[in-house]
Amino acid sequence: MKLPETVRNLFEGKNLAFLATLNRDGSAQVTPVWSDTDGEHVLINTAVGRLKERNTKRDPRVTVSVADQANPYLFTTIRGRVVERITGEAAAHHIDRLATKYLGVEKYPYLQPGEQRILLKVEPERILLPRQ
């Protein structure tokens, strides 16, 4: 399903998103994240082994909210599932692209020695459309 234009614009903009995953005990774990979209999925890049990555491996259900940084009343919330987990060069290239978007640099500057990046593709199941 193609995301509505207003939703795509929020994820394509330089806006922080908030990713909610489920901990083992069922409680919510929320993290601010850089985000992107391929037009159909929400794309979240993280490091292998982080809590959000481990949580989505165990339970793929997530909620992602993003608000326009210039107008926080313009926001969307998406409930969905992580349907694909991409590692390797594609994930490394994606985090560099996000670093360009959010920081204005060509390479992600916070990569730790031995860190492996993973790209989580979230397929929307419910979308709260932004009100303008």
CATH code of residue 112: 2.30.110.10
**Across the chain, what does the average pLDDT equal?**
96
Range of the domain at 33: 5-128
CA distance 91 to 21: 20
CA distance 27 to 104: 35
What pLDDT is stored for residue 130 in this prediction? 87
In sequence order, what are the residues at sequence separation of 6 or more whose Cβ sits closer than 8 angstroms to the Cβ of residue 56? 21, 62, 82, 85, 120
CA distance 23 to 68: 28
pTM score, whole prediction: 0.95
What pLDDT is stored for residue 97 in this prediction? 97
The phi and psi torsions of 102 (rounded to 5 degrees) equal -90, -30
Place of tokens 């599932």: 81
- Walk along the chain (132 residues) in steps of 10 and give the mean pLDDT of each run: 94 97 98 97 98 98 97 96 98 98 97 96 96 72
Number of domains in the chain: 1
What pLDDT is stored for residue 132 in this prediction? 64
